[in-house]
Structure 1
Amino acid sequence: MKNSTSDLNYLLHLDRDFVLDASVIYQKYLPLFTLLTIRPMIFYILLSKATLMSADLRLGYFINQVAVLLHELNFCFLYRMHVIAPYAALYCDGPICRIGLPHSLLMALLSLTVIWTIPTFLFILMRMHQRVIANTKSILRFSTSSQVIILVFLTFLLSLNVFGFGYFSENCDDCDELEKMPDLAWVIERGGTLFLYGPPGKGHHFQGETIILSITLATVGIFIAVITVNTARTMSAQSVLLASKTQQAQNRLIRVFFWQLAGVNVCYIIPLALMLLATVIDYTFIDSRIIAAVRFVLVPFFSLEGTQLSLIFLFKNPVHRKILNYVFRHTILRQKSIVTPFESVRHVTEFRSAFPTAQQSIPIIVKTVY
């Protein structure tokens, strides 16, 4: 590549010479790895009769897993994005960005899977919350129709961003001049598609979508915060009233989801906000090493959203760990046992209490033969 030995502003020569290539390889193989390892385990648990999960939560998690799978395939494999911070620019190195599609269509298709992982997560949050407060007089107890209305409204609000990403995705008016700058010329030479919205802090047309996204995230964030705080307070108040085993089982379920909620902030909300920050704020006054370090990790963190959700689902829940342990021993180590992942009646009792609508027939291990 031309000028491969020259240094660029904001350490962008590191992206040109090393980081971008490494990021492309990482994004190329991440969906393949999760598709062959983590996803089958998730779907096995969700389709297993031993999950003790009610039908609505099972459906919510199943659709959520499909959504994050499509997001991984789309974002990592088809697009392979890279942030050109502190410029208000995103670079797409994937195959879909090399066939001449217009910017508006490319960004609309990208945002579709990015945005649509959220409604399924909100559905799970809503159902979890309603279960916790089912026996209380909380004003946040909603009828089924009210829950549907709330979720439809939030989904509609999120869907506006698909329109916004497509409509406001035009390059800035002076993009031809900016593309001649050494900091950006190497990206043009590489091929693919450069979404160039403007110089640092000036997103020009794309600032319209930044405003829509900010309003959306604020609204959804308030909803999540209210539901989360109310859930925590209700669980704390019920800890004295409920039997210990029932409370422990329910707390474990909610705790797993709260871990996932924290993961969404780290691997989705924060990276997405930082990716678009350069469209409204010029932060070139910050040390270039800090800008480069943040730039290097944004896409890897963002692409891990689905993976971290799945890993928490698998390994933070003791019942899911037992199911996986059983499958591993039964299929990999070839240990013979009566078909069930449970090793004690205690787990069945606890989870029946936590899931009143769960199936009534639960297989229990009677004997394991080594």
Structure 2
Amino acid sequence: SMSNGSSLRYGFNLDKSCFVDIEMNVQLVMSLFNTFICHPFPLFILLRKSPTMSKGIRRLYIAMHAAFIIYEIIFFFSIRIYAILPYPGLYCEGPLCRMGLPNSVVWGFVALPIATVQPPFAFLIVSMHQMFMTEGSPGKLSNRVKIALAGAQITIMSLNIFTFGFFGREPDNMDELMQEPELAMLAARGGQLLIFGSPGNPQFFLPALLFFYFTLAVNFPILCVCILHSMYSLKKISMAAKSTQTQMLTNKMFEVFFWQVS
């Protein structure tokens, strides 16, 4: 058989013997741990009213942790992807990938958790940045600008779900690609192969990849500016503080902010 271990190239004999099983089991265990322990614990704390946290920030934290739970359930439990380099695409083995769904539907589910997590995280970073900006500061944003940024963020992330689903069709030469021993071996496991096309030719999926790269290029610099400017402002406030107590409080805020954005 072409799919036996001796005929596999690119180190796929190791993938077949252990790596795929290890990766799938790790994702399953981590998804269950994070879904039922890691994220519910801070949610429980956040749902209790805190006199020291503003209502808006608390709501964003709740939304972010709820989004992380959705992310864990979909990405690491329901899908469970595995990179199959040098082939352009992914292999997935979660319940959604064993239902015989079209590739375009599964690709939509791949994009969904990412699009769900990003907006509340971005809104939280921007909102915390605004807490450190005084009225009249160049970095202080008006409500109109914040609403516009939120609308743009939600629109861009929603379009990623659409582009992944719309352009996530099987390539024309899928039957030919499935003759490759490495892909045949993975298909025999019972999961689903999400192949872009031949190496170097993503065919239908190229627009989705380009739009995803555009999303990263737009989001990453804005968040980096907000994070770095917030940390700079906190350090500046700490250095200007006259009392030791104010300095300690500001330094504590700096540490909390640093670990949160990390």
* TM-score > 0.5, shorter chain as reference: yes
CA distance in 1 between partners of 2:217 and 2:258 (Å): 19
Q: Which has the higher contact order (CA 8 A, sep 6+)?
A: 1
The answer for unaligned runs of 5 or more in structure 1 is: 263-370
CA displacement, residues 235-266 of structure 1 (integer Å, 9 cap, x when unaligned): 2322233344334334433433333433xxxx
CA distance in 2 between partners of 1:214 and 1:95 (Å): 28
Who is 1:69 aligned against? 69
CA displacement, residues 108-166 of structure 1 (integer Å, 9 cap, x when unaligned): 1221112210100011101110011125x422201223212112112211221111110
CA distance in 1 between partners of 2:151 and 2:164 (Å): 20
CA distance in 1 between partners of 2:254 and 2:4 (Å): 51
Who is 1:160 aligned against? 159
Who is 1:104 aligned against? 104
Q: Secondary structure at the match of 1:116?
A: helix
Give the conservation status (yes or no) of the 8 Å contact 2:5–2:16: no
Who is 2:133 aligned against? 133
Give the conservation status (yes or no) of the 8 Å contact 2:35–2:72: no
The 5 A counterparts of 1:108-123 are: 108-123=108-123
Give the conservation status (yes or no) of the 8 Å contact 2:35–2:73: no
CA distance in 2 between partners of 1:66 and 1:98 (Å): 26
CA distance in 1 between partners of 2:49 and 2:245 (Å): 22
> Following TM superposition, by how much is the alpha carbon of 1:50 offset from its aligned partner in structure 2, in angstroms?
4.8
CA distance in 1 between partners of 2:145 and 2:178 (Å): 50
**What amino acid maps onto 2:168 in structure 1?**
S
Q: Report the identity percentage.
A: 31
Q: Which moved more, 1:196-205 or 1:116-125?
A: 196-205
Give the conservation status (yes or no) of the 8 Å contact 2:132–2:233: yes
CA distance in 2 between partners of 1:251 and 1:35 (Å): 32
CA displacement, residues 82-124 of structure 1 (integer Å, 9 cap, x when unaligned): 1111210111111111122122122112211122101000111
Give the conservation status (yes or no) of the 8 Å contact 1:31–1:76: yes
**What amino acid maps onto 1:71 in structure 2?**
Y
> Following TM superposition, by how much is the alpha carbon of 1:29 offset from its aligned partner in structure 2, in angstroms?
2.1
Q: Give the number of equivalent residue pairs.
A: 261
Give the conservation status (yes or no) of the 8 Å contact 1:45–1:51: no
Change in 2 beyond 3 A, CA 1:207/1:15:
same
The normalised TM-score by structure 1 is: 0.66
Change in 2 beyond 3 A, CA 1:128/1:28:
same
Change in 2 beyond 3 A, CA 1:251/1:200:
farther
CA displacement, residues 54-103 of structure 1 (integer Å, 9 cap, x when unaligned): 11111101010000101101111111111111210111111111122122
Residue 214 of structure 1 pairs with residue 223 of structure 2: no
Who is 1:84 aligned against? 84
> Cα RMSD over matched residues?
2.1
Change in 2 beyond 3 A, CA 1:53/1:113:
same
Q: Secondary structure at the match of 1:91?
A: strand
CA distance in 1 between partners of 2:158 and 2:244 (Å): 42
**What amino acid maps onto 2:111 in structure 1?**
S
> Following TM superposition, by how much is the alpha carbon of 1:7 offset from its aligned partner in structure 2, in angstroms?
5.1
Instruction: Please identify runs of 4+ aligned residues in structure 1 that moved more than 6 A.
Output: none
**What amino acid maps onto 2:200 in structure 1?**
G
Who is 2:180 aligned against? 181
Larger Rg computed on CA atoms: 1
Who is 1:336 aligned against? none
